[in-house]
């Protein structure tokens, strides 16, 4: 099962890199960089975890890689939106980022069901809270609507993938004898 997840993560990474390069070429370098950096972060975490994890824990590597990509995407979105619209930090965003960073560090240093469960809840929350944002496409300018559509779409894809891979990792970890 972990080999299948690894192949899915590799194929997904290649497709995402091609999509990012294409969108970057079409929409500009800053926009493209916004797509490339999460992919790079995910691939770095994937490579680190593939080397570190025992064979029985390999299902965790793609899950943490996708979570790292989601975390990087969220931080970049925050930075770019702050530069464009002004700095606004909501308390829930701070909590989500701290849980995300802390959970990732915890999972990388002490892999197990605890940090996987924490990240699963955090990414599931992101997925559920982003779904209502789909109505933004009817507001604002055409460029604003395209940017919002892409931002919400990528967030939903990454959060959905993170939830899927984290759930698969939790299932594999529960089946692994302690």
Least confident of 87-91, 103-107, 129-133, 141-145: 141-145
Q: Are 76 and 168 in contact (CB under 8 A)?
A: no
Highest mean pLDDT among 30-34, 58-62, 97-101: 97-101
pLDDT at 121: 94
Vertex 144: Cα angle to 156 and 68 (nearest 5): 30
State residue 125's pLDDT score: 92
pLDDT of residue 170: 92
In the three-class reduction of DSSP (H, G, I as helix; E, B as strand; rest coil), residue 176 is classed as coil
Give the model's confidence band at 28: pLDDT under 50 very low, under 70 low, under 90 confident, else very high.
low
User: What are the sequence ranges of the domains in the chain?
Assistant: 2-175
Which is more confidently placed, 158 or 23? 158
State the pLDDT at residue 1: 46
The more confident residue out of 177 and 90 is: 90
Model confidence, pTM: 0.76
Q: To the nearest whole percent, how much of the chain has pLDDT over 90?
A: 28
Alpha-carbon span 134 to 27, nearest angstrom: 21
In angstroms, rounded to a whole number, what is the distance separating the alpha carbons of residues 121 and 113? 12
**Average pLDDT estimate for 4-32:** 63
Q: Which tens digits make up the pLDDT trace of 32-50?
A: 677 778 888 888 898 888 8
What's the pLDDT at 137? Answer: 57
Q: How confident is the model at residue 155 (pLDDT cuts 50, 70, 90)?
A: confident
SS3 state at 88 = coil
- Rounded CA separation 115/101 (Å): 11
Q: Is 80 helix (H, G, I), strand (E, B) or coil?
A: helix
Residue range 144-151: mean pLDDT, rounded: 72
């Amino acid at each position: 099962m972990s080999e299948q997840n690894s192949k899915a993560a590799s194929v997904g990474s290649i497709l995402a890199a091609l999509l990012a390069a294409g969108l970057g070429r079409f929409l500009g370098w800053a926009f493209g960089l916004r797509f490339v950096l999460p992919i790079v972060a995910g691939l770095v975490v994937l490579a680190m975890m593939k080397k570190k994890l025992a064979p029985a824990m390999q299902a965790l590597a793609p899950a943490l890689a996708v979570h790292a990509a989601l975390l990087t995407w969220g931080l970049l979105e925050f930075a770019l939106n702050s530069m464009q619209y002004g700095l606004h930090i909501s308390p829930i965003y701070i909590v989500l980022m701290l849980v995300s960073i802390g959970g990732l560090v915890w999972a990388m240093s002490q892999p197990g069901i605890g940090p996987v469960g924490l990240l699963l809840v955090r990414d599931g929350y992101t997925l559920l809270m982003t779904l209502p944002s789909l109505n933004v496409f009817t507001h604002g300018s055409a460029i604003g609507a395209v940017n919002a559509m892409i931002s919400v779409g990528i967030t939903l894809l990454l959060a959905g993938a993170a939830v899927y891979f984290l759930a698969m990792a939790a299932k594999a970890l529960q089946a692994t004898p302690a």
